[in-house]
Structure 1
């Protein structure tokens, strides 16, 4: 059990989402950086889809009511436990009454607090993720508030060394698979979508210019600022299903990238679709960040997915070896 001591807007309980209900208008929700949540759960021996806390406004503080292991992943938020530093991408043990504090990160947007056994809130449609628009899931379908108490499930992890242990952050461990463009822009790989060719010469400008994430962005979608692009002629389109990663272009000509709380349907023309393996990087992009879209092939997308799978497998292996070594010493 933990108690929320300090929090800000938009901090919520999230897991990997609730797929399978888009046909009735229910968005999947889930972590904006699913890789960070999954890694934290693996470090703790949780199920990969166990619920954790997504923190995007700081400072954030929780008090542990009883002893329990935790992991902090995602943005480096200079975490401390009773004032003692906790490294990023790290798992450790907290004692009764100890306070974990997450401070504003110097880069990246979201930190994830995973708890041994997972955040034990009532599942809705098979998921514990919070839908703020729908008002369900998580803690009463709302943002976390001071005084909220969150129980944890049955812990399934192994032994932890004194002081804990961690892993190399994915951006560093897989820097060859996730490059950064000159000037610090994120390189986001995407496939041309259904209406790509309707944009004529503007389609080339979509790929060649940098785009900035505007302040009008949220978990539903990132609105991008740049030189507007338009179809060569006005197109009347019926609403069609959309998913996270779809890049739509409204009449104003500035694209919108659908994110974790993506709309279930929309009628704007689609110029591209971000490959799934790059969505975690978008989830960590801050307001004002620059993006460059790069055309990808299906083969390239599969290769990046393989790199992510290898990283998670390595985290599994590390956690297992640490636990086995400590068990042998016990």
Structure 2
């Protein structure tokens, strides 16, 4: 059964994202997709959706939604956002049954910059070049190529499962402090002397407030080049770390340009992209160089977790009136006991 998700309020930067728009960088078309691919996939997989199904990427500005006409089952995963259902506190990673008129609110919480709101069956939106991902700079994908706003209504698809258990999502891979980010050096690390590579790895680097979905800017020790800081422009992967003439690294993210002409000292491995994306401005970090084999092993661990059933544990029962429980229909009468302390 399909349904409708209604946006009651949305801060700036909340958009629809699926697994991304692949195969078009050669034509100058940005891939878009989630800033934290693992969290996006966890929210979807907890509902039985494909990992790359269309979901809402929620920024620090937060969002508030409800269901229209028919109940929806939704999942939240990502940063440690503050989540409430009609004012009742929830865990930051959770599956809930959302009745019509009941309000699910997500706001910036203790940590993280992005969280993902998936709905059983996914969001049913027209595909642009094979993807529903929003790229606001070019106005394509998602809902009219723009960020979500109050009053928007999103149709949902047919759920893959007849029913999905509600409760707290158990996803230890999402517990990823950003202090150390794993990278593979290159492809232009030969533009830097060994002492500059050592300085790059050691940092410490501070995440600048200038960042957005296109790039993360770092502030720290000035890196110098062995020769010119210009190269023949070549393709840009998500997580590529450019070093322009001023010597401060720029990490290209989901809405990156398709090509770039600064030397790339290193590239963040796929499993650590979300770790970097969730680092708030003012956070400090350093990098660790890893081998190709270690990067592949980390990706295999992540894929193995997503291939299985994502564990969802019922929340702890506590005392509430029958009217409250009937009105919320939350986890069959379970709520987060820690929120009541």
TM-score (norm 1): 0.89
CA distance in 2, matches of 1:3, 1:34: 24
1:94 is aligned to 98
2:125 is aligned to 121
Q: Does 1:188 align with 2:185?
A: no
2:145 aligned residue (141, 147, 155):
141
Which is further off, 46-55 or 56-65?
A: 56-65
SS in 1 for 2:110: coil
Q: Give unpaired runs (5+ residues) of structure 2.
A: 313-341
1:324 is aligned to none
More strand by share: 2
CA distance in 1, matches of 2:170, 2:164: 17
Specify whether residues 72 and 235 from structure 1 end up closer, same or farther in structure 2 by C-alpha distance, changes over 3 A only.
closer
Q: Does 1:284 align with 2:264?
A: no
2:61 is aligned to 58
Q: Does 1:2 align with 2:8?
A: no
1:110 aligned residue (103, 109, 114):
114
Which is further off, 235-244 or 130-139?
A: 235-244
CA distance in 1, matches of 2:119, 2:164: 14
Q: Does 1:49 align with 2:52?
A: yes
SS in 1 for 2:140: coil
- 8 A contact 2:229–2:244 mirrored in 1: no
CA distance in 1, matches of 2:43, 2:254: 19
Q: State the Cα distance separating 1:317 from its structure 2 match.
A: 5.9
Q: State the Cα distance separating 1:49 from its structure 2 match.
A: 1.2
CA distance in 2, matches of 1:89, 1:260: 23
SS in 2 for 1:217: coil
- 8 A contact 1:170–1:311 mirrored in 2: no
CA distance in 2, matches of 1:167, 1:96: 23
1:243-267 Cα deviation digits (max 9, x unpaired):
1011100111100111111210010
Specify whether residues 52 and 25 from structure 1 end up closer, same or farther in structure 2 by C-alpha distance, changes over 3 A only.
same
Q: Does 1:199 align with 2:202?
A: no
Q: Give unpaired runs (5+ residues) of structure 1.
A: 320-330
CA distance in 2, matches of 1:146, 1:70: 19
Q: State the Cα distance separating 1:5 from its structure 2 match.
A: 0.8
Which is further off, 212-221 or 227-236?
A: 227-236
Q: State the Cα distance separating 1:3 from its structure 2 match.
A: 1.3
2:296 is aligned to 302
TM-score (norm 2): 0.86
Q: State the Cα distance separating 1:150 from its structure 2 match.
A: 0.7
Q: State the Cα distance separating 1:97 from its structure 2 match.
A: 1.2
CA distance in 2, matches of 1:208, 1:37: 30
**How many pairs are equivalent?**
307
- 8 A contact 2:38–2:271 mirrored in 1: no
Q: State the Cα distance separating 1:171 from its structure 2 match.
A: 4.1
- 8 A contact 2:66–2:101 mirrored in 1: yes
SS in 2 for 1:63: strand
1:168 aligned residue (159, 167, 170):
170
